[in-house]
Structure formats: C-alpha cells, structure tokens
Structure 1
Amino acid sequence: MAEATWAAAGIETVQPGVHRVPLPLPNDGLRAVNVYLLEDRTDDGGIVMIDGGWAIPEARKALEEALAVIGRDLGDLSHILVTHIHRDHYTQAVELRRLLGSSVYLGVDERPGLERLHRLRGDGLAAPLETLRRAGAGELADSIRAADPGDRDLSVWEFPDRWLAAQTLRFGDRELQVIPTPGHTRGHVVYLDERRGLLFSGDHVLPHITPSIGLEPADSDSLPLADYLNSLHLMTRHADARLLPAHGPVADSTHTRVAELLSHHDDRLRKSLSALGDDVLDPYAVARRLGWTRRELPFGELNAFNQMLAVNETAAHLDVLVLRGRVERTSVNGVNRYTRVR
C-alpha cells in the first residue's frame, strides 16, 4: 500500500483473520494509528485487538465501521493488547474496557510511566520538557508549556488488567510472543506471531519514519537510544516476519527495515559528532547545526513540538556517544554540555 494512502479510512485484510484498521489522529502529523483485529475465537468468543487508538469520537466511529465490514461489533473486542502508553495507543483501550469490559494488556515496564502520570495528574509533557531544559532549551520548553498546559484527564490513564513481561499469549490457535523492546518508551512491547510470520511492531519499527526516543512520562536513568538500538538488534535474533506497524503500511520484511533504522542512527551519530566539532555545546546548540526530516530542513523551520523532538533526540545521540567514549558530558547550572574526547 502506498505511503500516501495507508491512513485512509477502511479495513485491510492482511491475511485471513488479521485486519489492519487505521484510526484517525486529527491535527497530528502521523495522520492515523493502525490497530489490528485478530478474528481467532478466544475462550469467551471474542476477538483480539492490538493497540487501542486515541480515545476520541472519530476513532470510535472508524473502529465501529471497520468491525461492521467483517460482521462484528465493539462487543466482540474481548482482549486489547497495547504496545505502549502513548495516548494514541492506550487511551481508547481504557475507554473500551469501561464500556465493554474488555481486558487490557500492557508491558510491565510501563508501570512507572503510568504511576508518574498519576503523580503529575496526567501531564505527559512534564518529563520531555525537563529533558528539554537540561538540553539548554529552557525558552523553547516555556513556549511549549504555554501553548499546551497538558492533558489532565486521569480517567484515560487507568492501569491495565494484566501486566506483560517476556512471555507467550495464546488465543484460540494463535500464539503471540510478547517481546519487550524498550527505547521509544521504557515498557514498549511488540507481539510476534512466529507461526504466521507476523510482527505487530507498535512504534518500535516503523516503515517510513523513525520513532521518537524517550518521549514518555517516566523518570529514568537509562539511555533510551542505547536501549532502542539494542531492541532493534533483538529483532534480528527472531525469524524475519511481515511488519505490521502502528503508523504506515504493512511491509514485507522486518529485518530489512531494522537494518535501515540501524544505518540511520549510525549516520545521525556521525553527524551529531561532526556538528559538535571542537566546541563545548549543549544539545540545543548541536540540534540547531543539524538538518531534520528526510528533507534536511533547518532546525528553525520546524514547529515548536518538532523542535522539542529534535533537541531531545540530539541529547539521546550525544549520550550514546558518551557511552561509546567519543564525547564527554558535564553539567553547568542544570544544563548538560558536551565536548569531543581528544
């Protein structure tokens, strides 16, 4: 399916009993989030949905219309397997549970993120803005906060029915391996149907874009980009499978796309080191020396939200360079500064 048409409303049968349904994301550059319907009969007679979508009326309507095409309705959704806690994946799962009694599943390492969301009363921007301030972009953080005071609706951030670790789930004759893939968020998981050759990849492996790294509400001392690169390598230790992503069309090979993503990050690490040069800089300054998106746009042409993603991604790449011994980091008045190792 062409990149330009994957987000169009409707339903695509990937293989018998497996359907891709794009749900709308109004005013979001991603345009849509894919959820997947697995028609294998469960013990309670329902069907399994992978990812939930964003809890907005447009998404509920699109899901109902897609279910009707295959002769089903919302009441058939008995199990909702979520890849991670971002709102376009998790919040409608919670809403459907409240409406239907569906069981919601989530990776156990997302628990700190949900707990922090409750402490912050649903403010999912708090941690990314903290990272932005440590990166030397305090004014940008202030402007983003002024434009978006945060999503304070705690009702969509309830805990799941079941926390998942590395394990196998069985629904009818279908087995799904739960594979933890930290990076995009700390507790991101993917679901692998090895027998049928399908990987439901969430935001871990996307066919046309690279996922943001570490954009989550959890406090963490980890290095999200290092975690993400390790999680990409982990995919190559499993048999290759068709890629069923959360954003973008279905692709034939997970391994092919993983190789492209690893190459992309190798390139960004080289460019980040080159942009740092012989100076002592914070990530905000380095980000302004780099090109962004596939069009290599200047930093100043990005909107404020994408500038935040760019700065935080630059910080993540610089921290990996520190881990690899290429760069040193110091902190001055709460702002991290980096210099090349001689």
Structure 2
Amino acid sequence: MSSSTTPTAYAVSPDSGEHWSKEGAWRVTDGIHRIPLPLPMDGLKAINVYVLETADGLTLIDGGWAIEVARDLLERCLRDIGYGFGDIRRFLVTHVHRDHFTMATVLGHEYGADVALGLGDKPALDLLNDPTLDESPFLEVLRTAGAHELAELWAAGGGERPDPAIWLLPDTWLEGDQRIAVGTRTLDAVHTPGHTPGHYVFADRGAGLLFAGDHVLPTITPSIGFTVPPTPDPLGDFMASLTKVRALPDLQILPAHGPVAPSSHARVDELLSFHDDRLEQSLAAIADAPATGFTVAHQLAWTRHEKSYDELDPFSQGMAAMETKAHLELLVARGRATREETPGGVLFSAAPIGSSA
C-alpha cells in the first residue's frame, strides 16, 4: 500500500501525455492500445485494459469490471480505433479479481471470445460460485487477522453473496509458464502467484514490454493477502514471483493500474526492498508481546503519506490487516516468528533469538 515516485493520483502516462486514467484508446506502440476503464468506489480510479491487434482480430489483456459505465466506455474506445466487441477473439486475464476478470467473462460468453485465466485462481471461482455460500468469504479472512469488528462492518456494508452471472468459468486454464502466439507476437505467459494464486504476467520480449497486471505496479505496492480461499504464505509467493520477473530482461511496464513505466528491474527492486523493510517493522511489533495482524497493522504507517491505521477507510483498513498478517506469516515461514490459532485470530510471536532458519 505504499508508492514510489509520482503519486498515482497525479501520474501522467507517457503514451497519452495525460493523467493515466484519462478516457481514451492510447497508443502504446504499433498494434497496442491502452484503454483505462473506471472503477467506481475504488481508490485506484481505473484499470488499464490492453488491446492487441492482429490480422484475425483482437486480444485483450484483462477486461475490466462488469459494470455498465465501463462496458459503454470500452465499446466507445474500441470504436474509436475501428473495432467492436465482435472483433475480440481472446481475453488473457491476469487474475481473477473483479476489475480484471468479470467484464472479460461476460463479453467472452456473449461474443464467443476465448477467456484464459490462471488455474491457480480456480479455487476462488469455485468458492464464489458455491451455492451454499452465505456471506462474503473475505469476512473469515478478516477474522483470522483479528479484525472482528471490521468484519462486521464489511458485512453490514455489502458482504452479500457474489453474483454468479459475472463469475463464469473461463474457456482456457493457464498452467505453468508457456508461450502464447498473438498474431505475429509471442508472449511469454509467466505464472506469478502472490497477489492471487493464479496471477500471470505476459512478457513481449520482442517489443520490450511487460503486461504486468497487478504484479508489478509503478506507483503502489500490490495488495497481498486479499484473496480467497486464503493461501498459507501469499507474501512469500509474491516475493518469489518478483524474483522470477527480475530474471527476465528489463522491460517497459504496462501495468493494470497507473502509468506506463520504463523499467521492470528498477520497480521490482523497489518492491522487494519495501517488503524487506516491512518484514523488519512487523517483527519489531511482535518483539515484546504476541499480536494479530490487525494489532500490528495499527503500529505501521500506510500509503505514501504515512497515514496511521485509524486514518484509513474501513475497506483499506481490512486490506491493511490482511496484508500485515501476510507479512507475519512469512516471518513464520522463515523461522523468525511463531503462530497460534485462537478464537480472536492468529496470534504471532517473535521466535527466540538464534532459532531462525
């Protein structure tokens, strides 16, 4: 939840010369356009959908959130560059979160376009389509982080059952690293679990581009721990995936949120450094007494403005509690902390000096 360089709220994207979220189909390079679509009620403001032109039609990387205002804007922007929904042949979706997946699956089923998603996100779709689900599955994640009152607040504010009409299964499951032909381009589909278990980035080495989804964001740190069903060590997965992307050539970042940015290597290094620092801060917070992720989150600063936890809105507070728990879980995995499951949430304690792995 921290940021680097220019704040997202003020970031200008070099392809448009405008604020990165300004409406339009912005030319990134020959045959590739970036279309920011709105995210109402979300601090991120927009998601970038990337349109790749081929002789046979369009491939879109991510689809946006299945809401009317975003659908109408996507249709208008495609029309501005000479296309319509019927020209879409495939969606390559970076991960299952609603702002990336739901419009892709709705349009894919309406127009017969293939929708591809990482297999690691299948458990999330299965859960969201479970007819016995009687509350938002994120509420239990909040409770294990010790944020019980926040879970009740989330529930009161819309923790209802997900709408199965926008959580349809994809046509293609992506598994492992593979190469995908998109017209004359070849994309390296690279599995990068962490933000979600099935997250993928798509590297166009020939053009020097990284379609980075939410894995490498230029102005903010991707949220960690905000996924269901929960995984044992999402931050450990994320940092390993960052190292994996760092081993690729240095590529221009085409992110899901924020402006086009020049260097994947530089940004990955910043993200790894941020989380290393956060791990040390989290460890210091449990040095004297056991604590939950919720309790430790109160001791940390949030966003580039170094806000206190109590200054955050309830949704951001929940994200912060989940992310802090992810840091504490990685400390456990590294032998630097211990954990105990209690009715009040998972309690973490610093491991005795000299016991770390």
Residue 271 of structure 1 is matched in structure 2 by 281
- 1:38 equivalent to 2:52? Answer yes
Residue 21 of structure 1 is matched in structure 2 by 35
CA-to-partner distance for each residue in 1:174-221, whole Å, 9 max, x for gaps?
11111110000010011111111111010011000111113122253x
2:103 to 92, 108, 113: 92
- 1:104 equivalent to 2:115? Answer yes
CA shift for structure 1 position 151: 5.0
- 1:228 equivalent to 2:248? Answer no
- CA change 1:143–1:226 in 2 (3 A) is same
Moved over 3 A (4+): 120-125
Equivalent-residue separation in structure 2 for 1:107 and 1:239 (angstroms): 23
1:322 to 332, 336, 341: 332
Kindly provide the amino acid, as one letter, of the partner of residue 31 in structure 2.
G
Runs (5+) with no aligned partner, structure 1: none
In the TM superposition, 1:66-77 aligns within 5 A as 66-77=77-88
In the TM superposition, 1:1-342 aligns within 5 A as 3=11, 5-41=19-55, 45-119=56-130, 125-126=136-137, 128-165=138-175, 166-220=177-231, 222-333=232-343, 335-342=345-352
TM-score normalised over the length of structure 2:
0.91
Equivalent-residue separation in structure 2 for 1:35 and 1:143 (angstroms): 32
TM-score normalised over the length of structure 1:
0.94
Please say if residues 236 and 255 of structure 1, whose CA atoms lie closer than 8 Å, have aligned partners that are also in contact: yes
Equivalent-residue separation in structure 2 for 1:68 and 1:147 (angstroms): 37
Match of 1:94, SS state, is: helix
Equivalent-residue separation in structure 2 for 1:225 and 1:150 (angstroms): 28
Equivalent-residue separation in structure 1 for 2:152 and 2:135 (angstroms): 15
CA shift for structure 1 position 107: 0.8
CA shift for structure 1 position 315: 0.5
CA-to-partner distance for each residue in 1:258-288, whole Å, 9 max, x for gaps?
0010011011111111222311212211111
Equivalent-residue separation in structure 2 for 1:7 and 1:151 (angstroms): 30
Equivalent-residue separation in structure 2 for 1:295 and 1:242 (angstroms): 27
Please say if residues 141 and 230 of structure 2, whose CA atoms lie closer than 8 Å, have aligned partners that are also in contact: no
- CA change 1:184–1:316 in 2 (3 A) is same
Match of 1:78, SS state, is: strand
Match of 1:119, SS state, is: coil
Aligned length: 337
Equivalent-residue separation in structure 2 for 1:202 and 1:107 (angstroms): 12
Please say if residues 129 and 162 of structure 2, whose CA atoms lie closer than 8 Å, have aligned partners that are also in contact: no
CA shift for structure 1 position 118: 1.1
Please say if residues 226 and 323 of structure 2, whose CA atoms lie closer than 8 Å, have aligned partners that are also in contact: no
- CA change 1:158–1:138 in 2 (3 A) is same
Please say if residues 121 and 154 of structure 1, whose CA atoms lie closer than 8 Å, have aligned partners that are also in contact: no
- CA change 1:125–1:184 in 2 (3 A) is farther
- CA change 1:120–1:319 in 2 (3 A) is farther
Kindly provide the amino acid, as one letter, of the partner of residue 273 in structure 2.
S
Kindly provide the amino acid, as one letter, of the partner of residue 263 in structure 1.
S
CA shift for structure 1 position 325: 1.7
- CA change 1:267–1:219 in 2 (3 A) is closer
- CA change 1:307–1:214 in 2 (3 A) is same
Kindly provide the amino acid, as one letter, of the partner of residue 205 in structure 1.
V
Equivalent-residue separation in structure 2 for 1:20 and 1:145 (angstroms): 35
Equivalent-residue separation in structure 2 for 1:332 and 1:18 (angstroms): 51
CA-to-partner distance for each residue in 1:59-101, whole Å, 9 max, x for gaps?
1121112112211122111111100111100110111123211
Equivalent-residue separation in structure 2 for 1:133 and 1:308 (angstroms): 10
CA shift for structure 1 position 231: 0.3
